[in-house]
Every structure is written in C-alpha cells, then in structure tokens.
Amino acid sequence: MSSTKRYWMDLGDLHQHPEAIKGRENEFPQDLAIDQVLGDQNFQGASTGRRDFLKFLGFSLGAATLAACETPVIKSIPYVNKPEDITPGVANWYASTFYDGEDFASVLVKTREGRPIHVKGNTRFGINHNPKVGKGSINARINSSVLSLYDNERLKNPMHQGADATWADADKAISDKLAAAATAGKRIVVLTNTVISPSTKAAVAALKAKYATVEHVQYDTVSYSGLTNANAKSFGSRVMPSYDLTKADVIVSVDADFLSSWGSTTEHAWQYANRRDPNGAMNKHFQFEARMSLSGANADVRVPMKQSELPLAVISLHDHIAKKAGAASVGGSKAEIDAATAKAAEALWAAKGRCVVMAGSNNEGVQVLVNSINNMLGNYGSTIDLAGHTYFKQGDDAAVAQLVKDMNAGAIGALLIAGVNPAYSLPNAAEFKAGLGKVGLTVSFSGYADETASLCQWTCPDNHYLESWNDFLPKVGHYTLAQPAIRNLFNTRQWQESLLKWSGSTQSYHDFIRSTWEANMASRGVMGLFADQWNQAVHDGVYQAYAATPAPVTFAGDVNAAAAAAKQAAAGAGEWELVLYTTEAIGDGQHANNPWLQEMPDPLTKLTWDNYVCMAPADVERLKLNMYLGEKAPASLVTVKAGEREITLPVVPAPGQKAGTIAIAVGYGRGENGEKVGKAACITDHNGEFKPVGRNAYPLAAMVAGSMSFEVLNVTVTPTGATYPVAITQTHLTHMDRHSVVKETALGVYKAGDKSAYNHAHELAVHEDVNGDGKINAQDKKSVLEFDLWEEHPVEGVGHRWGLSIDLNSCNGCGACVTACNSENNIPVVGKDEVRRSREMHWLRLDRYFSSDTTKESAKADGLGKIDMYLKMEVPSESPKVVFMPVMCQHCNHAPCETVCPVAATTHSNEGLNQMAYNRCIGTRYCANNCPYKVRRFNWFNYVTEQFGEVNPAWDDLGRMVLNPDVTVRARGVIEKCSMCVQSIQAGKLAAKKAGTPVKDGDIQTACSAACGNGAIIFGDLNDKNSQVRGLATSDRSYHMLEEVGVQPNVNYLVKVRNVEEEAAHHA
C-alpha cells in the first residue's frame, strides 16, 4: 500500500520553513569551532611572525620530546587486608532500593573497586521487576542517581549557622534544645516526604517516646492529597491504591500521567508495556488531557481538552457508566464533552472488571467520582487493589498548611526537616521562610545547603542513599531493603541515626532496622533463623512477607457532593489556563543538580537545560511568537501571570497541547538565591551570568479546596518581545527523510496477517526482465537485499553476530536508556550552549515523530487537488500521533562509514559490530557525513577541562569516580558512537569461556537493554538460533530503518501497532 500518512519531525519540517531546510542540508549546522580560536581578540593583536612561529614550534617539539622521555612512575597500592568479596577489576552488584518520595524502584548497584558506578533495575525481585523480560523497570532519574553521590557541593560536615560543626556539638546542642522545647510543652515537628520505611517511622516513634510533643507531618512536593482524601471518603482508608495494569484491557486516564509521574510509575510502565504486545491481548488506552504527557503520547486514543474541561470529562464518564449500570447520574457536563467521552465509556463498559479509570486531578471531588466509576465497573479487587494498597503519597496538604500557620504563630518549638525542601517547593515559601525564624530550633537533614537548609540553624547532612541502610514498605506485605554500596564519602550521618541519637539510643540505624525486623518477624511467627532470613533479604533487596488479604469494597462516597466540587474545580476559567507538571528528567526538582538529567532531552519537546511554556502551535501563531526554534532561532519570552505571581519563560510550540491551555514544568530554578544546591542546578547562561537552570514555577500553584492544586484556570500571557536561546535537539538530526524510518499499523491490519500490508519489503527497479513478461519496465524489481556495493562480510553462521531488536510498541519514550548509556559509556555532558549548537554527545538518542492526519485517501475523498493535498497534509492535527524511536549506531553489516574512513579507524568485527578505534581516528568526520542514521558524534572539545567543568561530571576528582574504568574517556578531535557496549560483550564472552559453556541468551546485556524493564530493547546473538533477539528479528513486524539504503543493520525495529480500528496501514 502506498504512503498515506506523512510523518514530520518538527514544525519547521512540517511547514518546510526555509531555516529548517537550510539547516538540514548541512551535516553539522554549526561552523567550525576554529572561529572561536581565531576570533579571539588577543590573538588578533599578537605579533607572532612566521619565523617566531617556527622557533616556538621547534622549541615545543624539542621540549615535548624531552618531556615525553620521562617514564611516568605510577604507584599501585594494594589493600593491606583485602576483603574477600572484592577482586580489583571485577564488578560487584548489590541489591538496594531507590526511594526519594517521588520514585520507587528496587535496583542493583554496580560497584568497581568499591565505587558505585551504575544503577539498574533489580533483575529478579521488586514491584518494578518485569517477570516477562527479567528486568527491572526504572526511569532516568533513578539510574542517574549514582552521579549525585559524587556531587562536590554535597555537605561534608554538619553545619551550624553556615559554618562547619562537629557531630558531638550538634548532638549536644540539638538534644538540649529538644529537651527544652518538650519541657516547655512546645511542639516538635518532624517534617518529611512520605515515609514508607517502617524503621524510619519507628525511629520517629523513638524520638516521640523521649519527647512527648513530637509530631510527624508528611509533605509531598507534588501532592496527591486529593486522591488519598477521596479514598478516605469513599472507602474509609486514606491510601493510594495499587493498580494492576496487566489485568486492564481498557485504560482511561483523565490527565493522569501514570507512565511518568502519577503513582507507582516504575510498576505501571512494565505492566502497561506487557499489554502492548500485539500478539497477546493488547490493551486499549484512552487519554483525556490538555498538555501532551508521556502517557498521552502512548495512548491509542488521545483527546485534547482544556484543563477546565477535564473535571467535566470525569462527570461525563461517570454519567455514561451510571446510565449503563442503572445508577443515578450527577449531571452537569456539556454535550460536546459527553460525545468525546462516549467511546471510552463504551469500551470501559464492555470490559467491566477488566479496565481502570484514573485521574490526575488533585481535586477530592473529581477523585471521588473516579472511585465511583471504578466501583460501578467492578474494578476494585481486579485492576485496583485497595487491600494491597501502596504506602506512597501519604502527605497531607492541610497539615502542611496548618504547620506553616503555626510556625508563624510561634507555636512550634522545633522543626526537623528531612527529604523535602519547602522553602523552594511551597507556593507560600515566603510565609514558610518567615515562620522558620520563629521556630526555636530548626534542623535540616538535607545533603546540600539548599533553599531550606541554608535557612535552618543546624544542618545535619543525611547520607546519599547509596551510603545508607534503610527498609521500605511500598505495598502491603512487600518489604525492600537499601544497603550501602560505599562507605560515607563525607562526614555525614543518616538522619534516622540522628533521630535515634537524640532519642538517647546508641544503636546504629543498621542495628535498629535489624532489631525492628527481628521483632516484626517474631511477632508474625516467622520460622527459621533470623540471621539467614536477614542475609537473604539483603542479598535479594526484597522480602515478600505476606500477601494482602482481599476484602470486599463498599463505596460510600457522596457522588453529588463530589460532582459539585468537580464543577467548582472547572469553574472560573479565563482566556488562558495553566497546568503545572513534572518532566521526565527533572521530576519535582530534587535532582535538578544532576547534569545527566539536565542534558537528557525531554521526550516530547526535545528541549534540554530549561523549563518553558508549552503552548499549542495555533496559539503561538496567534500571538505571533517564534514557531521555529533552533540554534539561531531563539524562543520568544512571555510573562505568565497568575494573580500576583508571575514568571517569565520562553515559549515552546508543543503539538498536541490544547489551545488555550499552557503548561509549565516545576522542578527548575533551583538555587535562585545563590544556595549551593549541587553541580548543574546553576550554569553560566548566554549573557555570562551564573544563573539557575529554568525558573521556579512552584509559586504558581495554590491551595484549592483543601489540597494543593497544580492548575490555575485564569492566567494572563503577555509576550515580552524579547527572545531567549534554547537548546533543542529536535531539528538537528535529520533523517534524510521520514519514509521507511517509522512503520506503524492498526491492530486489525496486523491481525489480518498480511505482512505486506504493514511491513512491505523494499524493492528496486532493475534493467532486466525479472517478472518474465518480455518487457523491461518499472515492474521489474528486486529486493534491496540483493544489491551490494560491499564485499560480503562472513557474519551469518560465523561465531557471534550481536544485534538489538527494538519494539516501538513497548517503548514509551521514558529515556532511561539514554541516561543508562551515559553512565555506562562515560559520555561527556557538554552543557546548554553546546547542545544548542547540536554538539550533544549522546550515543543513544530517542527520536520522536509526530504525525499529520491528512492522508492521500482523505484528500482524494475531499476532492482536493495535488497542491492543496500537500498543503493540507502539512496542517498539524490537533492531537498528533506520536512514535518514540530509540536510535543508536545500527552496526550495519555494510557500513557506509567504514568505507570512507581514510585511516581505517572504523572497521567491522567478525561479530557484526561496527568498531571505533579512537586512537586511529584523525577527525575527518567523513564517517559522520556518510552515516544515514546520524549517530556518530564528534568531540569538538576536550570535555574534561575547566571550560566544561560546570556541567561535565568527569571534570572534578570526585565526579570522575563515576566513570566506568572499562571504557576509554575520549579526547578532542575523534568521532565516537555506540559500541553496542562491547565491554559488556567481551566480559560476557569471557565469563562463558571461563565456565566452558556457550554464551547463554540474556546473560549479556547492553546498558540500554538492561535499563529497559519494559522489554522494548532486546539484545542478543543473531547467530544463536534460539535467542530471543533472533526470534524478533525474523518476526513479521521486524524491519530495518532505511532498509532501501541496503546497509543491512544488525539493529532492527518492530512495527508499531496501535489498538485502533479506523486507521489504515501505514509504512512510508
């Protein structure tokens, strides 16, 4: 079937904007960096003549030669007493747990010579463990967390009023003040994020046992108070339930970004991916939302709605279902919204008990309605588990608001703050700061002198989680452990241990956890030796104590009151509505100091190093703002005003965004007042000023109806007329053209079984009578596989042939593979200015393609002429379909890069790998020019220099500890690219050789395949007849990107299949 749908990469491409087209003609849009050197004023004024130059040259040559004669003396210092389980040169993996109040995952930590260098999901246990692929699902924030261990701005000692102090002094002073506060009957408040650690709760209880006035207040930066309160009202338990998406045939999400930020995301991600397999029972996903979220981008049916219409959508869904169920409707929606939700309601009703409805709103009323819908659909006990609920998001917005008031009233004797940063993240931060001054004792446990810690009297820095012992209870009966992978780097102490100390205990926190566990197990009558069970739990990282007992669920919510509250939440909409969200990389802002995360392009906007206003392209056009962003095309600045509060940010046109609603990410603008919050939170901007990355959008949130609302329905947007350079990776990487890059089809077409309908083979016309009809014409075609410019490489059947298979259906675009690759392969961080010049160094990028809805067929039906048809095909649909596509070196068996290298620096291995020898490379960049996939990166600079010290972790001695010692740090002037983690391949082969067995499928993983718990990236040996990757590569969905070029890659993609009926097949 011929081309029906056009894919475009960005708006510049879509509109054939001259700037974009011009940019595409050049492989490297930026001129040579030599300008910078020659443009230097100092050089122009210099008077170095030719003879002087030759003298200098001669001298330098001689000096360098003489200097080089010195054999460097390298000291090698062995252990005095080597620990039994450490062998220098061999990695050790430790099971641990990552939890920061926002994300949770059971992880494995890779250490080399005692240094943690890489984090991946637990391959055997945990709620994020995907049993289907044997990997743990994680996100970019989790695997990047290893880098924050080595942040030089971490506090190295306890601090008192900004000066270093000792633990003894801190303990004495704080204990005294706590005692004084307790005696005076003043409240001692422990303010934390949601604590899911039983032992931490016990430690707080121990403090309370000592000081009777101790209280524990939990504060979620991104609040779910509305949801948990709704559950309290509906079912009598104030919890976040546990969702089982593997059982859900239909998922309807109203603004809940459950793959990226809503609920137990690492768990949802793999469950969702497992149900996206078109060979199995594929789920159907409806998403109603205003901004394009990651979940929305993955949805089968995405309906863009204004933020103020979303509560009505929930009402409308409720009434549709109520009608079918014979229950009373609440009423109050609009006809057009009822029409928009009708299909979803029908699908839900057809899948009663096998579906789920979720809403992202923090409005109690909306959530009660959602509970009612799920109750009517019989989802409790199947897709939603209330008895086996999670312990996430216990925070209570009302309690936090009350605390701020009490602080200002002088009612708080002491405030101990752990895991949260209210002076940054509270909308009423100013009030909070004022209140801090009225509290008798303020202690922060932050690892940095951040916004809150710098205002506290004492800072008792907590360990990094990789230096800590802890236990967690994410779900009923499911315990996990965190164990230290390295001894404390600095003079820090776990905050729980501080609490224990102040409560008069001398126990270490590790012993404390052990004793709580021992008591807990004894009380539940667990048989066997505790030490054995403990050791097993530490080894596995997970201890499944018991399963929740299912209990009947009775819905007791008042739907009419809820509907009234929901309508209230939809009222008062102005011309512009604003929604605040968290990005895939930065999240709620805790990790804004992580350079890997700052440089990870946003999955949808492809922007790095900034937050911005996402605006519908139609609105951008209406306001006459800059639509086409690029290296030399900056974004327009606008001021967004919500009541008294305002923020000025660049505007990024975001296809899929509902016109009239704008979106801004929180988590940026850390360290606004010069606080030292970590390495990359502030960078030198284009004006040479050292400034925070992005602006803080938290002040725009507000308390509405007892919970924190992250939407403001009436804001003003005023263009300032100024522009702002943005670092966007979107336009840089052109793909020759879109044809045959992305293939997608509808489930029905796929199920019909005709491969040529959705994944046709590429053929070329030849000048011979192939079909034997006696004529030579365009019908005489041969498969592209029969054409060869290159000599045959003996790969098939000879030794190994490593390959990757990438499933466009399972990939949700989270980007964990990108940061995993950064960590494994020592990829330099280059900073905003270099990314803007399209010089980012990522070996693995995540391409995102939007679709245009007009097809040749529909144009024909509408009677459009050719020109009109093409014009129309360029009009973006209101809600484009999205395809995410991880692209790394394709390891072509007929690699065009290898042919053009004048020094044979890039060659082919007999295992199918396209090798890159950095020491041979002389930097002609011919290979990058000749690569059809544009995956080769050139080292424009030595990134391990002061110039990049602000952003590149490898610059300082501490940051350098994160480097993988098995991978070379590349120097300036060479090309680098994905090696398919050849270091892991070699290590895996060696392990097999030593064991005397063939390499077992799945034993070797690349960083990206190990990071993808969704099973979207599968690595293996294509020559192994039984390997999973071979099975996928020879399946009907498998295709090669740009197959017609004939480069025969070892990486294949699986056609994206959407669970939609109406659409015809698409491939080109």
Partner 1 sequence: MPLVARISERSTGLLYATLALFLTLSFTAVHAQPADAALYATGEKLFKGNCGACHKPDKDLTGPALKGARARWEGKGDIYAWIKNSSDYLKTGNAYANELFAKWNKSVMTAQALTNEEIDAVLYYADNYAPPAPKTADGGGARVPQGPNDAGAAWPWLVVLALLFLVVALSLSGVKKGLANAVQEAEGKQPLPERTMGQSIREWAWNNKAFASIIGLFFVVFIVLKLWDAAWVIGVYGGDEVEHYKPEQPILFNHTLHAGKSEAGNLAINCQYCHSSAEKSKHAGIPSTNICMNCHTAVNEGRSPEGTKEIAKIYAAVGWDPNTKQYTGKTEPVKWVKVHNLPDHAYFNHAQHVAVGKLECQECHGPIDEKMDVAEQWAPLTMGWCIDCHNQKEVKMAGNGYYDEVMARLNETDLGHSELKKYLEDDKISVKELGGWECAKCHY
| Cβ-based nearer residue to partner 1, 661 or 826 | 826
Binding partner 1 (rule: CB under 8 A), the pick from 993, 1003, 1034, 1061 is 993
Contact 11, 627 (CB under 8 A): yes
> At its nearest, how many Å lie between partner 1 and the CB of residue 1017?
20
Any idea of the CA torsion for 99, 105, 108, 110, to the nearest 10 degrees?
-50
| Integer CA distances (angstroms), 282 to 260, 530, 972, in order | 20, 44, 48
The strand order across the sheet containing 240-243 reads 240-243, 384-390, 470-475, 478-482, 542-544
Q: Which of residues 1023-1042 bind partner 1 (CB under 8 A)?
A: 1023
Please pick, from the candidates 22, 55, 82, 632, the single residue that binds partner 1 as defined by CB under 8 A: 82
Which residue stretch of 440-448, 488-496, 545-553, 909-917 sits at the interface with partner 1 (rule: CB under 8 A)? 909-917
Per DSSP, the three-state class of 456 is coil
| Identified binder of partner 1 from the candidate list 2, 42, 47, 65, rule CB under 8 A | 65
Q: Is residue 80 close enough to count as binding partner 1 by CB under 8 A?
A: yes
Q: In the range 786-805, which residues lie near partner 1 by CB under 8 A?
A: 794, 796-799
Site string for partner 1, 518-547 (x = CB under 8 A): ------------------------------
- For the chain, give the number of residues: 1068
90 touches partner 1 by CB under 8 A: yes
Q: Is 982 in the site for partner 1 (CB under 8 A)?
A: yes
Least distance in Å: CB of 765 to partner 1?
Answer: 29
Question: Taking the complex as a whole, how short is the minimal distance between the CB of residue 888 and partner 1, in angstroms?
Answer: 15
Amino acid present at 298: N
**Cα separations (Å) of 31 from 704, 733, 834, 897, 943?**
52, 16, 12, 22, 19
Please name which of 1005, 1011, 1032 lies closest in space to residue 596, comparing C-alpha atoms.
1011
x-or-dash pattern for partner 1, window 377-416, by CB under 8 A? Answer: ----------------------------------------
Determine the Cα–Cα distance for residues 1043 and 762; give it in Å rounded to an integer: 7
- Provide the minimum distance between the beta carbon of 201 and partner 1 in the complex, in angstroms, as a whole number: 38
Among 39, 45, 49, 89, binds partner 1 (CB under 8 A): 89
> Which of these ranges, 473-481, 491-499, 559-567, 903-911, lies near partner 1 under the rule CB under 8 A?
903-911
Binding residue (CB under 8 A) for partner 1 from 75, 487, 624, 767: 75
One residue of 33, 776, 969, 1060 binding partner 1 per CB under 8 A: 969
Among 538, 420, 401, 636, smallest CA distance to 106 is for 538
CA atoms of 604 and 295, how far apart (whole Å): 11
916 is an interface residue for partner 1 by CB under 8 A: yes
Residue 487 in contact with partner 1, rule: CB under 8 A: no
Which range binds partner 1 by CB under 8 A, 329-337, 711-719, 982-990, 1007-1015?
982-990
Q: Among residues 649, 588, 849, which one has the least CA distance to residue 740? A: 849
Total residues in contact with partner 1, by rule CB under 8 A: 55
State yes or no: residue 910 binds partner 1 (CB under 8 A): yes
**Distance (Å, rounded) from C-alpha 305 to C-alpha 295?**
15
779 binds partner 1 (CB under 8 A): no
* CA atoms in the 13 A half-sphere facing the CB of 765: 5
Binding residues among 572-601 for partner 1 as defined by CB under 8 A: none
Q: Which is nearer to partner 1, 748 or 923 (CB)?
A: 923
Nearer to partner 1 among residue 238 and residue 989 (C-beta): 989
Strands 661-665, 613-615: pairing is: antiparallel
- Piece of 60-68, 658-666, 704-712, 780-788 that binds partner 1 (CB under 8 A): 60-68
Q: Is 915 in the site for partner 1 (CB under 8 A)?
A: yes
Min separation Cβ 397 and partner 1, Å: 51
147-155, 263-271, 705-713, 967-975 -> range binding partner 1 (CB under 8 A): 967-975
- Write the CB contacts of 592 (distance below 8 Å, at least 6 apart in sequence): 586, 598, 667, 668, 670, 677, 678, 680, 681, 693
CA pair distance 1049, 1046, nearest whole angstrom: 8
Is 358 or 916 the residue whose CB approaches partner 1 more closely? 916
Stretch that binds partner 1, among 452-460, 577-585, 918-926, 1033-1041 (CB under 8 A): 918-926
747 binds partner 1 (CB under 8 A): no
**CA-CA distances (angstroms) from residue 263 to 219, 224, 242, 473?**
15, 9, 9, 15
Binds partner 1 by CB under 8 A, chosen from 173, 486, 992, 1060: 992
Cβ neighbors of 448 (< 8 A, separation 6 or more) are 151, 153, 154, 155, 461, 593, 675, 676, 677, 678
Output the smallest distance, CB 920 to partner 1, in A: 8
Q: What is the number of alpha carbons within 13 Å of residue 783 lying toward its C-beta?
A: 5
- Shortest CB 825 distance to partner 1, Å: 9
Q: Which amino acid would we find at residue 208?
A: K
Minimum Å gap between C-beta 908 and partner 1 is 8
CA angle 702, 705, 711 (to 5 degrees): 40
Give bridge partners of residue 7 from the DSSP assignment. 851
Per rule CB under 8 A, is residue 909 in the interface with partner 1? yes
- Closer residue to partner 1 in complex, CB, 858/915: 915
From 409-417, 489-497, 961-969, 1027-1035, span contacting partner 1 (CB under 8 A):
961-969
Site for partner 1 contains 428 (CB under 8 A) = no
> Which CB atom, from 561 or from 969, has the smaller least distance to partner 1?
969
Q: Which is nearer to partner 1, 450 or 911 (CB)?
A: 911
Residue 63 interacts with partner 1 (CB under 8 A): yes or no: no
Minimum distance from CB of 998 to partner 1 (Å)? 4
The separation between CA 946 and the C-alpha centre of its own chain, rounded to angstroms, equals: 28
Give the residue with the Cβ less far from partner 1, 745 or 914. Answer: 914
Positions of E strands within 986-1037: 1017-1021
Among 39, 45, 49, 78, binds partner 1 (CB under 8 A): 78
Minimum CB separation of residue 81 from partner 1 in Å reads 5
Q: Does 73 bind partner 1 (CB under 8 A)?
A: yes
Range 849-861 burial, b when 16+ CB lie within 10 A, else e: bbbbbbbbeebee
- Sign of torsion over alpha carbons 258, 264, 269, 274: negative
Terminal CA-CA length for the chain: 9
Q: Specify the residue, 820 or 978, whose C-beta has the smaller distance to partner 1.
A: 978
* DSSP classification of residue 998: P
| DSSP annotation of 463 | P
Distance CA 163, CA 166 (A): 10
Opening angle at CA 964, ends 97 and 830, nearest 5: 100
Task: Find the shortest distance in angstroms from Cβ 66 to partner 1.
Answer: 7
Q: How many CA atoms lie within 13 A of 53 on its CB side?
A: 5
Interaction of residue 1006 with partner 1, rule CB under 8 A: no
The number of beta carbons lying within 10 Å of the beta carbon of residue 516 is 18
Measured between alpha carbons, how far is 105 from 266 in angstroms, rounded to an integer? 7
State in angstroms the smallest separation of the CB of 794 from partner 1. Answer: 5
Q: Which residue is associated with the tokens 């895939």? A: 584
Residue 343 is a binding residue for partner 1 (CB under 8 A): no
Q: How far is the CB of 957 from partner 1 (least distance, A)?
A: 17
Binding site for partner 1 (CB under 8 A): 65-66, 68-69, 71-82, 87-90, 794, 796-799, 907, 909-911, 913, 915-920, 966-969, 979, 982-983, 986, 989-990, 992-999, 1023
